[in-house]
């Protein structure tokens, strides 16, 4: 009856009982040793520092906090120089970047930056708890506050006015603005207020709720259990907050280059012949592709670590042949292990005590694809190791990428997951599933990534995951789960991926074309245009839906989808450079405009356009029969990527976008590196093109290259080539300097294309005049440099 009007029957209205919260009360006394410990009337609070600009606060009702960290953390507290001033009403504890004020009666915390600007403060309400040991923290909300992050959430970019729950959930029902919990839980957010940013990471693995809706004056974060344990990240820029957050939770390794290519999937390419036919169509149509996915049908009765030999009699040679053609096979691996007394993985799991159990010791069994199944207890190191070693089944066949799905963990029952009373061993510190539910996917990702890495003898693994918690970026790329072939879902993918990026996860993307429901040629075209610029680019669709491979909708759609897949390959050197930046700094590849323009109100909730790096703006068409759209260009001069038409920013413009056009704008002062189109990332580049969009100032770009496949970049085997361009009056000066020359790329030629040049100029490269340059139409000055 919940989906008829009966759901809103007046008799259903429940009495609105407000929860009784107990404030921690006044400060009684405090101690300062390694950390600051405050005893209050109804609880203990600690303060410690992880850097000058990162403070950790914990609170436990009625007893001392344990200070145990969740699985998210990569950093230990640091000995930071602090000054503590005691005043009658309050204490002031200062680092060089953060000032923490502790008011005594009642106990309240406020954090300021070193210039005295308020970051967070508590007012009438501060930290509190309920009889049921739920915990909550209230903070004042400023009228100028805008909120970002929160991992994977539906709706628009700015989360002010939302109430969001973190509880990893398998949601096949259409995702819509009121869908709350999805597959990932990242209890972290960034506030931007008057151009400055700070962040809060609430490291609690229980179900948590962030309420930015119930009041205009304050917001709160709440957890169903555990300790109140959160970090204040001082900013002051949005980029600083991401750097601080990823200092705590880690950054991704540089992915293998092939993971950045175009990926084709379907639930399911059911047998070897289908896969071969698929590959031959890609070859025949000369469409680039780097990976093909095997969904659950490849397995024997959906048993993980098996192949169905009726369907895939030559699995091993198929994988080898495809590798030789530059295509990787990525099989799906779910956590559920079929209950089957004759199935070695189940036998081993039972014998070696690897499965989740009730406190009484019975293995928890729940239904997923293989039928009744057991679930590995990834909270134990030995289980993660076991699972990691099992990946050998795949790596021995030549597989280098694994797709982890259903790892919320999803179970086909009312609650959609395992019993909350299941006990996870947690290396001898047992905890209930109610507490560890949200980290199940993260730990499975860790087991998979670590196992693959061990077995691939120096090659970079690729893991794709559906579920995760803060820190998931260390192990896996994240796709946004079971979307539908709805225009609205394509639109929603943008703020979702942008907020994931702010939440430290740079490698994300939706199922291009839409998973459930039937796509159309037009939707697939527009979605492929968007997908070419989302960090992760995979076309995937559900069982029983119409075919949605690039050629499935006739010639025009086929031509355009191919053009954009090729465009992805062209942009790879630039994208790869940005992935390297994400590895170094945590900054996302796909960015909301507010990250670069936090003072510009037009960007605060701009959800249907995004930036690639700092200075490339993508504005997809997200409606049917629509060939124009409004694009917001922030301050500066912007070039239309296709026509080189220049626009003055700080305004909205109307652009034309026929079906074959994705509006792309490049900011003056930018440089972009492009490669020739190729059918797989495995094909070496013969040259690289550097597009320069010169400005009045000196323009700079650092191109990054390495072998794209091994970890040798961690031993300094990479190239960082700094290119500067100074365009003034009648001349263009280019300077090229290898800041680090630990790798020699396949290409030996650099083709320079200097845009927006209206007449021939004298060109100097590292002080030498270059005489063979020519001026193309569209005012592009072109020349080649050979090494």
Q: Closer CB to ligand GLC, residue 188 or residue 515? A: 515
Given a contact cutoff of 8 angstroms between Cβ atoms, the answer to whether 37 and 44 are in contact is yes
CB 150 within 8 A of CB 188: yes
152 binds ligand GLC (CB under 6 A): no
Minimum CB–partner distance for residue 716 and ligand GLC (Å): 39
Residue 775 burial (CB count, 10 A):
15
Which single residue brings its beta carbon nearest to ligand GLC? 267
Q: Quick one: which of 296, 322, 593, 662 contacts ligand GLC (CB under 6 A)?
A: 296
- Which CB, 466 or 568, lies closer to ligand GLC? 466
DSSP letter at 1 equals -
| DSSP bridge pairs for 732 | 727, 763
State the catalytic residue, choosing from 229, 290, 334, 405.
Answer: 405
Contact between 424 and 391 under an 8 Å Cβ cutoff? The reply is no
Q: Give me the catalytic one of 23, 53, 272, 408.
A: 408
CB of 182 to ligand GLC, least distance (A): 11
* Closer Cβ to ligand GLC, 126 or 481, answer by number: 481
Among 481, 501, 506, 663, contact with ligand GLC (rule: CB under 6 A): 481
Minimum distance, C-beta of residue 408 to ligand GLC, in the bound complex (Å): 10
Question: x/- binding map, residues 487-516, to ligand GLC, per CB under 6 A?
Answer: ----------------------------x-
Q: How far lies 305's CA from each of 25, 48, 302, 398, 456, in Å?
A: 55, 45, 9, 14, 17
Which of 23, 53, 134, 482 is in the footprint of ligand GLC by CB under 6 A?
482
Which residue is catalytic, options 152, 295, 482, 640? 482
CB of 511 to ligand GLC, least distance (A): 7
Distance between CA atoms of residues 249 and 245, nearest Å: 6
267, 298, 346, 387: which one contacts ligand GLC (CB under 6 A)?
A: 267
- Whether 618 and 591 have beta carbons less than 8 Å apart is answered as no
Residue 482 annotated as catalytic: yes
Q: Tell me if residue 405 is catalytic.
A: yes
Kindly identify the residues of this chain, within the stretch 327-386, that bind ligand GLC according to CB under 6 A.
332
Q: Name which of 179 and 724 has its Cβ closer to ligand GLC.
A: 179
Considering only residues 158, 253, 295, 408, which one is a binding residue for ligand GLC as defined by CB under 6 A? 295
Which CB atom, from 232 or from 467, has the smaller least distance to ligand GLC?
Answer: 467
Q: How far is the CB of 527 from ligand GLC (least distance, A)?
A: 16
* All residues at 6 or more sequence positions from 629 whose CB lies less than 8 Å from its CB, including other chains: 619, 621, 654, 655, 657, 663
Total site size for ligand GLC, rule CB under 6 A: 10
Extract the tokens encoding 594. Answer: 């507010």
Binding characters for ligand GLC, 397-416, by CB under 6 A (x = yes) = --------x-----------
Sheet strands side by side (includes 664-667): 590-591, 610-612, 616-618, 664-667, 637-640, 646-648
Q: How far apart are CA 569 and CA 580, in angstroms?
A: 17
Shortest spacing between CB 2 and ligand GLC, in angstroms: 22
Closest CA to 753 of 734, 728, 729, 730: 734
What's the closest the beta carbon of residue 308 comes to ligand GLC, in angstroms?
14
CB of 558 to ligand GLC, least distance (A): 24
Q: What angle do CA 445, 446, 449 make, to 5 degrees?
A: 80
C-alpha distance from residue 232 to each of 47, 76, 129, 384 (Å): 11, 15, 20, 31
* Alpha helix (H) residue ranges in 272-343: 272-284, 315-324
Which has the closest alpha carbon to 95: 200, 253, 234, 231? 234
User: Cβ closer to ligand GLC: 267 or 569?
Assistant: 267
Q: Please provide the distance, in angstroms rounded to a whole number, between the alpha carbons at the two ends of the chain.
A: 72
Q: Any idea which residues carry the catalytic annotation?
A: 405, 408, 482
Q: Which residues bind ligand GLC (CB under 6 A)?
A: 267, 295-296, 332, 405, 466, 481-482, 515, 540
């Amino acid at each position: 009856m919940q989906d008829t009007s009966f759901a809103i029957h007046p008799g259903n209205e429940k009495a609105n009982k407000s929860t009784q919260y107990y404030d921690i009360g006044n400060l009684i006394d405090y101690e300062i040793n390694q950390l600051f410990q405050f005893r209050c009337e109804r609880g203990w609070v600690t303060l410690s520092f992880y850097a000058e600009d990162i403070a950790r606060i914990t609170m436990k009702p009625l007893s001392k906090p344990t200070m145990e960290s969740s699985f998210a953390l990569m950093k230990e507290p640091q000995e930071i120089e602090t000054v503590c001033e005691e005043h009658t009403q309050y204490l002031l504890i200062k680092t060089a970047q953060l000032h923490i004020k502790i008011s005594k009666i009642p106990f309240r915390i406020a954090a300021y930056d070193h210039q005295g600007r308020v970051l967070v403060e508590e007012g009438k309400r501060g930290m509190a708890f309920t009889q049921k040991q739920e915990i909550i923290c209230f903070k004042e909300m400023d009228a100028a506050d805008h909120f970002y992050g929160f991992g994977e959430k539906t709706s628009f970019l700015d989360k002010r006015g939302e109430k969001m729950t973190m509880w990893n959930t398998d949601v096949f029902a259409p995702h819509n603005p009121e869908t709350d919990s999805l597959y990932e839980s990242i209890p972290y957010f960034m506030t931007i207020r008057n151009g400055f940013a700070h962040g809060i990471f609430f490291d609690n693995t229980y179900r948590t709720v962030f309420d930015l809706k119930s009041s205009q004056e304050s917001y709160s974060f709440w957890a169903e259990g555990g300790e109140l344990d959160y970090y204040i990240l001082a900013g002051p820029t949005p980029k600083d907050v991401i750097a601080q957050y990823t200092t705590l939770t880690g950054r991704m390794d540089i992915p293998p280059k092939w993971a950045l290519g175009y990926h084709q999937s379907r639930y399911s390419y059911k047998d070897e012949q289908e896969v071969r036919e698929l590959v031959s169509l890609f070859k025949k149509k000369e469409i680039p592709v780097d990976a093909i996915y095997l969904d659950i049908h490849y397995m024997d009765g959906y048993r993980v670590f098996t192949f169905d030999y009726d369907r895939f009699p030559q699995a091993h040679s198929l994988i080898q042949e495809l590798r030789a053609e530059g295509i990787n096979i990525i099989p799906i691996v779910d956590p559920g292990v079929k209950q089957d007394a004759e199935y070695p993985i189940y036998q081993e799991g039972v014998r070696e005590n690897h499965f989740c159990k009730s406190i009484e010791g019975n293995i928890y069994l729940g239904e997923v694809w293989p039928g009744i199944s057991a679930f590995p207890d990834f909270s134990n190191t030995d289980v993660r190791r076991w699972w990691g070693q099992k990946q050998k089944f795949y790596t021995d066949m030549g597989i280098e990428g694994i797709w982890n799905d259903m790892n919320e963990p999803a179970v086909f029952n009312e609650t959609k997951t395992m019993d909350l009373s299941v006990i996870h061993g947690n290396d001898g510190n047992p905890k209930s599933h109610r507490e560890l539910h949200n980290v199940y996917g993260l730990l499975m990702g860790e087991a998979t990534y670590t196992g693959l890495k061990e077995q691939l003898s120096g090659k970079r693994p690729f893991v794709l995951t559906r579920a995760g918690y803060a820190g998931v970026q260390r192990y896996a790329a994240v796709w946004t789960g079971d979307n539908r072939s709805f225009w609205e879902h394509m639109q929603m993918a943008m703020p979702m991926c942008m907020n994931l990026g702010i939440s430290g996860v740079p490698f994300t993307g939706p199922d291009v074309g839409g998973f459930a429901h039937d796509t159309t040629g037009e939707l697939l075209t527009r979605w492929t245009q968007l997908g070419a610029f989302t960090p992760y680019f995979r076309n995937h669709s559900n069982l029983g839906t119409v075919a949605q491979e690039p050629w499935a909708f006739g010639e025009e759609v086929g031509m355009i989808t191919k053009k954009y897949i090729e465009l992805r390959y062209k942009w790879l050197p630039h994208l790869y450079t940005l992935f390297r930046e994400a590895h170094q700094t945590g900054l996302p590849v796909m960015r909301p405009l507010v990250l670069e323009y936090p003072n510009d109100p037009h960007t605060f909730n701009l959800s249907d356009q995004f930036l690639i790096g700092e200075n490339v703006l993508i504005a997809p068409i997200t409606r049917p029969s629509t060939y124009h759209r409004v694009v917001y260009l922030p301050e500066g001069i912007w070039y239309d990527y296709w026509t080189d038409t220049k626009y003055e920013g700080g305004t909205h413009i109307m652009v034309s976008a026929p079906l074959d056009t994705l509006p792309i704008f490049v900011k003056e002062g930018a440089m972009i590196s492009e490669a020739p189109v190729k059918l797989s990332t495995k094909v070496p580049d013969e040259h690289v093109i550097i597009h320069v969009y010169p400005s009045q100032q000196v323009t700079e770009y650092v191109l990054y290259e390495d072998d794209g496949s091994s970890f040798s970049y961690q031993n300094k085997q990479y190239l960082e080539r700094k290119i500067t361009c100074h365009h003034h009056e009648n001349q263009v000066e280019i300077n090229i300097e290898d800041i680090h020359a630990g790798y020699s790329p396949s290409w030996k030629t650099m083709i320079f294309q200097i845009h927006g040049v209206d007449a021939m100029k004298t060109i100097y490269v590292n002080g030498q005049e270059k005489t063979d340059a020519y001026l193309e139409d569209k005012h592009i000055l072109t020349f080649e440099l050979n090494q």
